[in-house]
Amino acid sequence: MAPNLRKFALSAHLACSVGWIGAVMAYLAFGVAAATGRDVQTMRAAWIAMDLTGWYVIVPLALASLLTGIIMALGTRWGLLRHYWVLFSLALTTIATVVLFLHMSDVSQLADVARAGSAGVDPVDSHLYDRLREGDLLHPGLGLVVLLTIQVLNVYKPPGMTRYGRRKQQEQRAKVRERTPVRA
């Protein structure tokens, strides 16, 4: 990847990844407000905000972070399959994105209950209204831990090459030796 294109891709990846972390922190704040709010209006507003933040901010940033991360891995010397830290980052990002998608349908269902208010809650589904009062702390809390773990992996880049990475490195060294003239 050309240096200017690499810098652009890195900037896009950093913006999406750090934005994802910030959006999850905002979502967590809404979850805390829903769980600790003393009035029903705050709780309902928090769930509606979590739904909107989730679908319109967190999901797009998660997808963009995954895509730009793959582009960065394929376009740099790190490669997608050469280093364990890249594989772990990819796996954690993929898992976090899948869990996010699965979780957002529940958030949307609860946000719909919040929008309808107590009048729109069927007595059979009153457990949904009880769930509104609990807030949403587990998913964003664990998600934040996962995202910060990914960030640490990407900053520190712990050593360790995969078998594929070692083989590719040996192939590159052999090519360099073939091109280098032998001095007598």
Q: What is the pLDDT of residues 103-123, one digit of tens each?
A: 999 999 999 988 987 555 544
Which residue, chain included where needed, has tokens 């957002």? 104
Q: Which amino acid, one-letter code, is at 181?
A: P
**Which regions in the chain score pLDDT beneath 50?**
122-124
Which residue, chain included where needed, has tokens 């107590």? 118
b (16+ CB within 10 A) / e for 27-52:
bbebbbbbeebeeeeebbbbbbbbbe
What pLDDT is attached to residue 175? 87
| Residue 114 CB coordination number (10 Å) | 26
Token pair of 27, please?
């979502």
C-alpha distance from residue 142 to each of 65, 98, 113 (Å): 18, 14, 25
What pLDDT is attached to residue 118? 59
What are the domain boundaries of the chain?
A: 3-179
What pLDDT is attached to residue 119? 54
What pLDDT is attached to residue 133? 80
Residues 23/15, Cβ–Cβ less than 8 Å: no
Instruction: Give pTM, 2 decimals.
Output: 0.87
CA 121 from chain centre, in angstroms, equals: 33
What pLDDT is attached to residue 124? 46
